[in-house]
A and B are shown apart, each in its own frame.
Chain A
Amino acid sequence: MKHLLSTADLSRAEAIHILDVAEEMAEVNTREVRKLPALRGKTVVNLFFEDSTRTRISFEAAAKRLSADVLNFAAKGSSVSKGESLKDTVQTLGAMGIDGIVMRHGASGAPRVLADADWIDVPVVNAGDGTHEHPTQALLDAFTMRRRLHGAGSRGQALDGVRVLIVGDVLHSRVARSNAWLLQTLGASVTFAAPPTLLPVASTPFGATVHHDLDVALAEDPDVVMTLRIQQERMNDAFFPNPREYTRHWGLTASRFARLDERTLIMHPGPMNRGLEIAGVAADDPRSTVVEQVENGVSVRMAVLYLALTGSEATAATKETVA
């Protein structure tokens, strides 16, 4: 794996391999010394053209636990606000000697442009591009599901037969798209429940089935219910009449939550709008994986950075030389 740009690029075996490496990283995160020397002497740049706190910190923690040096670049207050192009920004960073780029950009496809261009020859990890993809979020969601479903025996497992319901703003959500592709690659089935205004215009967007009634979707007894964040910045665009009406029709309210099966997992990529798309009682229940998702995010990002920066094409079955 040289770059991680899209979950659509991942084969089933590659996806499982990343999750398995993440299991080893998770084990390291339980040790007293949470540090590995694998990326010692390497420099990773967090190149963030869009605001982000949790994703950036998660990547930073992941890189530091692998002993890499981390440079944080935020477009705000940088030469980008003076009009510098992506090419010049990246070449400037390249001249300082860097070994990997973690990129978030408001424009869909920006990491792909960077990976394909010959401006700089280092691995690029997509940390969210526009309304397109957020592959590490999908990987950590899959990792979290796998751990909850298979426990200690999750290595090597996929998510065959798991039924995942994704609720909310699918149209603007890079999390929904990355998840739909990855989860289906891993054998899960994905259903979206959202108002028509918040869904892409397609009969089966990203291969998922669609419901326009949350209660009908919940009655199908999904194994996982993933609520997406309603992005407050889009409130003015009249995708739905008002927040209260959204909650009544599409929120995981306390009464809807009470009807769910005992084993159904509740997931949310964060940050949560409590009381809007998810009720506090659902978010704080033991069935909720919200905190685990954050914890697993570090392990998954360690795995992605490790595989990308050490040029690992290897699979677990690779024959080793005795050295």
Chain B
Amino acid sequence: MGTRTVLQHSDITRALTRIAHEILEANHGASDLVLLGIPTRGAVLAERLDRILADIEPEWADIEPERTSEPAATGADAGRSHRVGTLDVTMHRDDLGHGIGRAPHRTTIPASGIDGKVVVLVDDVLYSGRTVRAALDALQGIGRPRAVRLAVLVDRGHRELPIRADHVGKNLPTASDERVTLRLTETDGTDEVVIEQGDGGAA
């Protein structure tokens, strides 16, 4: 049973740093940018991008925090960036009711909202494109961004919908019976991208 590690911690960090630069370049600066990560790994990646952007772009943290109307911002919510949020797509998936059963995750939108903003969706692995379609659907219920872009750490091909990423960390040509798994320190204790053969039932 073959398991290949294709990206390690340093590769992931380099890819994210480059994506951060690309996002700023494409947007001509940091104005109106909002990062929305798709849980769970995409949300972690969005937070990492947020930290990198804060380091490389002085303008990134410059927006006045609009949190006066926020009631009881305590614990994990306090000090949350006004630039980064999470967007859960579970309820918008096209495979609900096929017996899989999915637990929804948290959606947190920055207090300033997404209307008129440039939203960068952040996900871990781009595959069929169905998650991104669901994310675009979910955004409609929340507001009307000026533009939506897509940043992914890995593009493994095999698209089933007309969707492409604007910023890609690494293109990984794969066979469709292979599994691409991203592990991150925050959720899995280690940073790596591995490709597993699908037939062995590897988890």
Residues of A that sit less than 8 Å from B by CB:
17, 20-21, 23-24, 27-28, 31-33, 35-39, 42, 66, 151-153, 155, 306-307, 309-316, 318-323
Contact = CB atoms under 8 A, between A and B. Distances in A.
Contact of B105 (A24, A35, A152, A309): A24
A152 B77 contact: yes
Nearest to B131: A323
B103 A315 contact: yes
B143 interface: yes
B88 A42 contact: no
A310 B74 contact: no
Interface residues of B, number: 39
Contacts of A38: 90-92, 96
Contact of B101 (A23, A31, A153, A311): A311
B76 A322 contact: no
B99 interface: yes
A223 B77 CA distance: 26
B166 to A, nearest CB: 19
Nearest to B154: A322
Closest 4 A-B residue pairs measured CB to CB?
A312-B101, A153-B75, A38-B91, A33-B141
Contact of A311 (B90, B99, B130, B142): B99
Given A152-B75, A323-B128, A323-B130, A32 B103 contact: no
A311 B131 contact: no
Nearest to B180: A322
Main secondary structure of the interface of B (DSSP, over half): loop
Contacts of B74: 151-153
B143 to A, nearest CB: 7
Contacts of B105: 24, 316
Main secondary structure of the interface of A (DSSP, over half): loop
Nearest to B105: A24
A314 B100 CA distance: 8
B39 to A, nearest CB: 9
Interface in B108-136: 124-125, 127-128, 130-131
B142 A31 contact: yes
Contacts of A28: 91, 107, 141
B101 A33 contact: no
B143 A32 contact: yes
B1 interface: no
B76 A153 contact: yes
Contacts of B103: 17, 20-21, 312, 314-316, 318
B96 A310 contact: yes
Contacts of A153: 74-76
B107 A152 contact: no
B73 interface: yes
Contacts of A306: 91, 104
A28 B180 CA distance: 32
Contact of A21 (B73, B104, B137): B104
A33 B139 CA distance: 10
Contact of B181 (A21, A27, A36, A322): A322
B97 A309 contact: yes
13 contacts: A24-B107, A28-B141, A38-B91, A66-B91, A151-B72, A152-B75, A153-B75, A306-B91, A306-B104, A311-B100, A314-B103, A323-B95, A323-B127
